[in-house]
Amino acid sequence: MPHRPLEGIRVADFSWVWAGPFCTLQLAHLGAEVIRIETATRPCITRQIPPWPNGKPGLNRSGYFNQYNQGKRSLTLNLKQPQALEIAKQVVAKSDIVVENFAGGVMDRMGLGYETLKQLKPDIVMIALSGYGATGPEKEHISYGPAQVPLSGLSSLTGYKGWRPMHVGISYGDPNGGLHGAFAVLCALMYRARTGKGQYIDLSQWETSTAMVAEGLLDYSMNGTQPERDGNHDAYMSPHGVFRSAGEDRWVSLAVRDDNEWRRFCHVIGQPALATDPRFATLTARKQHEEALDALITAWTSTRSAEEATAQLQAVGVPAAPSMSNKDLSTDQHLTSRPIFTYLKHPEVGKQQHVGIPWLLSKTPLAVQRPAPLLGQDTDYVLHDLLGYSAEEIGVMREQQVLT
């Protein structure tokens, strides 16, 4: 069987919550051995939030944590103790990558900054996925994903005409920063393969989030204008939006890209005369009368299911799709025919469905190797197999609360 792309690469993962773990999830998917360095005295927030299988909470039972930590290991260390800090450094010395997503300066104050760690492993690749980067006046501020949405400008672009800015629904800063981070780490590994040198990656989640609103920034920089919030409408397509369909809270999304598609759309909905109606015959006219146009479309979509409307529109080349719920996604025929979903048997919550590896590599087939770890599940493995401590030494460290 072909080697996985990052097989033989080890990650010392000091990250928590979402951005850092989402970064290391990608590395684990690619075959790296990811060792989460955790503590029971301050467990990861995501171990403590729902969803819980059968509604029963527990540090090893969070669906949130178990999704984003597939394929990883867990080592518990009380880093307030000098011996635990020394063990952490020993893990780094045996690793290729270090990942952290604390506020700027935290790792340095802990004695685990890059300048210290590269003395232990000169070719180490270290990435810090902080909220605001390692330099600048905001560097020491703590940040969470919800703050990145308004700070990045996403909220200023999100909302309905005449409404105030709105939140976009999820904390885009976290997964977006995590994916940028994984890509940056891969680039650094390629650099190391060519030069033998490691490097420090300073990632600002604020900046990676801002990169998602380039069109808005360009509009202002080139034209001095702030893009207007306009719901699900589009400046260059009409109709364009999400429309109510038959059934409880069911919706269908559609987009008409040009006048030819508009004519086909009118035939599908049984109103061919609308194609030449002066109010709707051109994009400019349709944009001017968009409220009336949306009402006409809703009158049609609301009498049929999202799936029926989708099939009729797609049959004539008009882009359309149901707005899917989590249940829809987990049972979708197309998705379930591909290996996006994986079923992992977890010691505490049993066999559960997870979103697995979201890409297919023809030359290096990949699969999730194990479910998310129990808290401290791999402590003995790391200390004994990787670092060479005896069972007696490990026992003493447990008694002294080093391994908590």
Cite the active site residues.
174
3-state DSSP of the chain: CCCCCCCCCEEEECCCCCHHHHHHHHHHHCCCEEEEEECCCCCCHHHHCCCCHHHCCCCCCCHHHHHHCCCCEEEECCCCCHHHHHHHHHHHHCCCEEEECCCCCHHHHHCCCHHHHHHHCCCCEEEEEECCCCCCCCCCCCCCHHHHHHHHCHHHHCCCCCCCCCCCCCCCHHHHHHHHHHHHHHHHHHHHHHHCCCEEEEEEHHHHHHHHHHHHHHHHHHHCCCCCCCCCCECCECCEEEEECCCCCCEEEEECCCHHHHHHHHHHCCCHHHHCCCCCCCHHHHHHCHHHHHHHHHHHHCCCCHHHHHHHHHHCCCCEEECCCHHHHHHCHHHHCCCCEEEEEECCCEEEEEECCCCCCCCCCCCCCCCCCCCCCCHHHHHHHHCCCCHHHHHHHHHCCCCC
For residue 343, the cross-strand partners are 353
